[in-house]
Amino acid sequence: MFENISRRQFVSGSAAAVAALGLVGCGGNGGNGGGSDDGTIKVGIMGPHSGDNAQYGLACLNGAQLYFDQLNADGGINGKEIKTFVYDEKGDATEAVNAYNSLVQNDGVTGIVGDVTTIPSIAVAQASVADNMPCVTPSATAADVVTYGTNTFRACVTDPVQGVVMAEFAAKQGYKNVATLYKTGDDYNEGVNKAFCEEAESQGITITTQESYSDGDVDFNTQITNILATNPDAILLPNYYNEDGMIVTQARQQGYDKVFLGVDGWSGIYGGSENYADAADLHDCYYCCAFSASNESEITKQFIEDYEAAYSETPTNFCALGYDAAMVLAGGLTAAEEAGLEAGSDDYKQAVIDGIFANTVDGVTGSISYEDNGDPVKSSLIITFAEDGSEVTFDTIEA
C-alpha cells in the first residue's frame, strides 16, 4: 500500500501516467476493474453556478472540489484519482435533470455531489431513483428530497431538526417559559417553529405564546408587547437575519433583556455586509448552525486555512456543506472500491450507498452518519455573540 501511494504521488502531475498506473494498481488488487475503468473515479458536481442562486451553487462547488483535490493529493481512493465533472443547472429543474442525464450517460459518473437548492434537488432525486445513482446534496433542506429512494443523501439537517436542536438547548439551559415570534406563510419559519414547540413541550417547557407576522412587516412592537406580558425566559425567532435584527432591536427598546434563540437564518446578523442589530443588543442571543468560522476545532481551523489558500476568501456555511457532501460520497466510494466491484455496475452503486450508511465521517460541519434514510444524524453548533458582536461558539449539541 505504501509503495502504491508513493508511486501515485510521484506521477500525480500527469493524468496519462496516473491512468496507466491506476490499471496496474487494479491488477495488483485482484483485478476486478472493468473495461470502462481507466483508473479514475468519475464524480459529478452539479448546482446553480449562474443566476439567482449562484452564490450557493458556487460555494458548494468550491467546497466539494477542494475536498476532491485534497483527496487526490493524498493518493485518491484505492489508488485511483477522482475526476470531477461539473455542470451548471442555472437553478432550473429541467436543466438539472438534463445535467444529471448527461453526467450518467455521457460522462459515466459513479456518484454525484448535488443538487444544491430544493426544487432542482427534488427533480434530480426523482430522476436518479431508477438508476440507483448515489447522490449527496450539500444543502437541500426540504423533507421530500430524500424520500424517493435510498440513493439520495443530504449533508445538511432539515429545517425542523433545527427547531428540535434549539428546544433541547433551551431545556439544557433550564428555560421554563419560552415564547416564539415567527413569520407566517413560509415553510422554513413555520416548520422550525412547530418542531421547536412540540419538542419543547415534551421537554417540559411551557410555550407562553406563539406570535406571528407577515412578509414585509417592520413593526413588531405589538407582538413583542404581547410576548413580554407572558414574562418568558427566552424568545425563539426562527426567521432570517434582517427581520430578526429588527425584532431584537425593538424588543430591547421595550426593555427585554433576556434570551433570544434562533436557527441558521440568523447567520449574518452581525459582521456581514451590514450589522442588522447593535452589538450591545445581541447579548444573550443563541442560534444553531452547522458551521461557524468561530469554531475552534482542529478540523474547522484546517478547513478555513485550506479554503482561504485555495480561493482567497473566507468559507461560508455552504462551502463547508459542499466539502462535507464530497466527504460523505467519498466514504461510500471507498467502500465500493475496496470491495473491488466494477465501476458503474448495479452492485457498485449499491455498495456506495451501503458504504455511506455504514460510514461515519468527521466533517467540517460535525460528525455525520446515516441511520434509516438520507437524513444525517449530526451535531449542531450553538453560536452566541461577544460584547463586540463577534460570533463565539458556545456549545455543541450532539445528535
Partner 1 sequence: MDIFLSQVLNGLQLGSIYALVALGYTMVYGIILLLNFAHGDIIMVGAYVSWLVMAQLGLNPIIAILLSVVACTLVGVLIDKVAYAPLRNAPRLSILITAIGVSYFLENGAQLVFGADPKVVPAFTDVSTIKLGDIALSFPAVVTVLVTVVATIALTLLVQKSKLGKAMRAVSEDMGAARLMGINVNSTISFTFAVGSALAGIGAVLYAMAYTQASPTMGMMLGTKAFVAAVLGGIGSIPGAVVGGLIVGFAEMIVTWLGLSVWKDAVVFLLLIIVLIVKPTGIFGKTMSEKV
* Interface residues toward partner 1, by CB under 8 A: 184-185, 211-214, 216-219, 221-223, 225-226, 228-229, 242, 245-246, 249-250, 252-255, 273-276, 278, 281
| Torsional sign, CA 388, 390, 391, 392 | negative
Smallest distance, Å, CB 223 to partner 1?
A: 6
Q: Which is nearer to partner 1, 250 or 295 (CB)?
A: 250
Smallest distance, Å, CB 278 to partner 1?
A: 6
Smallest distance, Å, CB 280 to partner 1?
A: 9
Q: Which is nearer to partner 1, 19 or 279 (CB)?
A: 279
Number of H helices, E strands in the chain: 12, 15
| Torsional sign, CA 116, 59, 372, 262 | negative
Q: Which is nearer to partner 1, 6 or 222 (CB)?
A: 222
The one-letter amino acid at 133: M
Q: Which long-range contacts (CB under 8 A, 24 or more apart) does 221-228 make?
A: 221/250, 221/254, 223/181, 224/181, 224/250, 224/251, 224/254, 224/256, 225/254, 227/179, 227/181, 227/251, 228/254, 228/255, 228/256
Cα–Cα distance, 4 to 155 (Å, whole number): 31
Closest by Cα among 74, 155, 101 to 334: 74
Q: Which is nearer to partner 1, 219 or 362 (CB)?
A: 219
Q: Which is nearer to partner 1, 248 or 329 (CB)?
A: 248
Smallest distance, Å, CB 388 to partner 1?
A: 15
Q: Which is nearer to partner 1, 270 or 303 (CB)?
A: 270
Smallest distance, Å, CB 166 to partner 1?
A: 22
| The three three-digit cell numbers of residue 293, written as one number | 468560522
Smallest distance, Å, CB 248 to partner 1?
A: 10
